[in-house]
Amino acid sequence: MDCCLFYTKISLHQSLPLTVKTLLSSSTCFVFNNSSFGTSSVGCRRSLFVVATGSSSSKCEFGGLNAPLEPATPAGRLLSTVLLNDRKYFHVAVQKQLEQLAYERDEAVARMNLSLGSDEAFLHRRIAEVKELECQASVEDIMYMLISYQFSGIRVHLIPRLSKCMYNGRLEIWPCKDWELESIHSCEVLEMVREHLTTVLGWKEKSNVADNWTPTEVQKFKLCQVYAASVLYGYFLKSASLRHHLEKKFDHINPYLDIASYNQLLPSEIRSLGSEIVPFGRISGRQSTSVGQIPLLREKKQDKLKYYVMSFDPETLQMCAKPKSKEALNLIEKHSYALFSDKKTGLVASDEVILTSMASLKRIVLEAIAFGSFLWDAEEYVRTVYKVKEN
């Protein structure tokens, strides 16, 4: 089977449907131990032709919380244990951890401010800086556990480090879980997800079993790039679909409101309209969510999500696609690196070729899109309690 895998330097432009050609000028860049890649202002696109072979091997089956990225902080390890052993108390534990982190960080900052002008000012400033970094790492772990929680809710396990799934150079992900990964999307979003699969993989909706499981070769580093771009695309779809939902809600309430009237609505009114799609049923808290910060495009309202997205100008497109926090951006990099890097060398080999199938490639990309969508949810959840670092 001959198919074509397209990849970019983490450019959302090429991840969008073919009809969306507005370029992004984003500063997003993911840096790996041996390589770095970021957004391209020209939407650079090259193709990797996947070569079919005739060998067969075992499929990778997995379970538990065997995610590629292991929690590195006490908060992350605690939530990992709670998720596995006492799931019903998971959100209580998350809430307490976030509140504790917020308290510790605020306390360190308060001591630093009190010590200004004294001999201990430098010491307390360093303590506050270290505490900030510790809290940021803990929040990233908490976001990761929230994402793992949502995957477990649809009975899908995150793919473990790919090197664990290799048998005689062959990678196969089993079971595929396509239905579960697609079930989280609305019909309109799913249509755009399938267009993305066609764009980056050359996937065909009506392909037969033989085509899906024919062994094919793909460069591992380029697949890593596709994965990271697909995470960003999933994040973008969640953000854009929320905007679309809110605009349709406003239009239903009062179709005669002008743009100025829209902008004068209280944040509480906006939050109440979007509450049904805010993650984990959370909307109120010490920190306001981005639901109340979304500028609406009243004059560009479209009934269909795909055409609504096509109406975005470059600034709006980038605003929806760009993670709002440094923690979320770091998590995309760390997760992608953990998934594709070799555990022995700690590198993502740029020239390594792996043997896999279209079915497994589809599974990988669907997971990446779901990861991006769940990342948006996790970020919003955290922002209700903890003030993240703005990206």
Mapped to the 3 state alphabet, what secondary structure does 190-238 carry? HHHHHHHHHHHHCCCCCCCHHHHHCCEEEEHHHHHHHHHHHHHHHHHHH
Of 323, 95, 364, the C-alpha closest to 220 is: 364
Give the pLDDT of residue 27: 35
Give the pLDDT of residue 277: 46
Q: Say if residues 222 and 354 touch (Cβ distance below 8 Å).
A: no
Give the pLDDT of residue 301: 54
| pLDDT by position in tens, the chain (length 391) | 444 454 333 344 444 444 333 333 333 444 444 443 333 322 333 333 333 334 444 445 444 457 899 999 999 999 999 999 999 999 999 999 999 999 999 999 999 999 998 889 999 999 999 999 999 999 999 999 999 999 999 999 999 988 888 877 788 888 889 999 999 999 999 999 999 999 898 888 877 777 788 888 888 889 999 999 999 999 999 999 998 888 877 766 665 555 445 554 544 444 444 444 455 655 444 444 454 444 544 444 567 888 888 888 888 888 888 899 999 999 999 999 999 987 777 777 777 888 998 989 999 999 999 999 999 999 999 999 999 998 8
Count of Cβ atoms closer than 10 Å to residue 225 Cβ: 22
The phi-psi region of residue 191 (left if phi > 0; otherwise alpha if psi is between -120 and 50; otherwise beta) is alpha
Give the pLDDT of residue 249: 77
Q: What DSSP string runs through 123-176?
A: HHHHHHHHHHHHHHHHHHHHHHHHHHHHHHHTT-PPP--GGGGEETTEE-BSS-
The phi-psi region of residue 202 (left if phi > 0; otherwise alpha if psi is between -120 and 50; otherwise beta) is left
Of 224, 262, 264, the C-alpha closest to 246 is: 262
* C-alpha neighbours within 13 Å on the C-beta side of residue 352: 19
pTM greater than 0.85 (yes/no)? no
Give the pLDDT of residue 335: 95
Give the pLDDT of residue 306: 87
CA distances to 33, 270, 275, 279, 283 from 289, rounded to whole Å, are 34, 10, 11, 11, 7
